[in-house]
Amino acid sequence: MFVQQHPTASPTLSTKLFIPAEDFELFIQEKSQQKIKGTIQFTYLNVSFTANIFISPATIKMQVQQGFEGIRLNAPVLSSLETLNSNYLFNETITNKGKQNMVWLILDFIHLYNLLRLKPGNLLELYREAFGFAKTQESDLVFGKIDITCPVAQQVAKVLAQKWKRRHKYEFGNALDLLASVQDLLANYPLQFSKQASAQAQIKVNM
């Protein structure tokens, strides 16, 4: 179920929402007609995760605090031409579309989490393939440090997202977030990747 909690009030049930990521709770710290800021907590495989979340009528941004620092996820930005009924936030209330996109962001996180937990070598391979494409566009790029604000980043992110979709049958909501988050994982969790690289090298030696 989806529960909104305010720091100075007792928890109030907003609506029921059944999601694959199990239950989650939103703790609101700041609220107005144009924004909600707070933290979201959810549980997956008996592990609890916490993320900062920012919701406006046109955007939802989530950044994981604990366990996976640096992972950033954004719902698609809504056009100003879209009707009020499609907004993520309306009259200080999260709309059904907003709630659904919060679920999708959690699912984006879960797919990253599962690949790092179970198959870090696959994650590394996907990034290497995308980086190989990046080097054909700009030869001076550094592995794991592509600036997501540079023009080539959009192309590289698209390649990475397409490869991920073909390999793992999952489409991320924001390709640039996927690129940024994978690079954050490479920087913050090198042990997982170094172990995998060593294992792959050992397999080649023994063949």
Going by pLDDT thresholds of 50, 70 and 90, the confidence category of residue 154 is very high
Which pLDDT band, with edges at 50, 70 and 90, does 199 fall under?
very low
Residue 54 confidence class, pLDDT cut points 50, 70, 90: very high
User: What is the distance between the alpha carbons of residues 62 and 202, in angstroms, rounded to a whole number?
Assistant: 38
- What pLDDT does residue 21 have? 41
DSSP the chain: -EEEE-TTS--EEEE----TT--EEEEEEEE-SS-EEEEEEEEETTEEEEEEEEE-SS-EEEEE-SSSTT-EEEPPPPPTTS-GGG-SEETTEE-HHHHHHHHHHHHHHHHHHHHHHH-HHHHHHHHHHHHHHHHHH-TT--TT---TTSHHHHHHHHHHHHHHHHHHS---S-HHHHHHHHHHHHHH-HHHHHHHHHHHHHHHHH-
Q: Name the pLDDT band for 70 (thresholds 50, 70, 90).
A: low
Q: Enumerate residues 6+ apart whose C-beta is below 8 A from 42.
A: 21, 22, 23, 24, 25, 48, 49, 106
Residue with tokens 């604000």: 149
pLDDT band at 24 (very low <50, low <70, confident <90, very high): confident
For a pLDDT cut of 70, what percent of the chain falls above it? 77
Produce one character per residue of 118-140: b if its CB has 16 or more CB atoms within 10 Å, e if not.
Answer: eebbebbebbeebbeebeeeeee
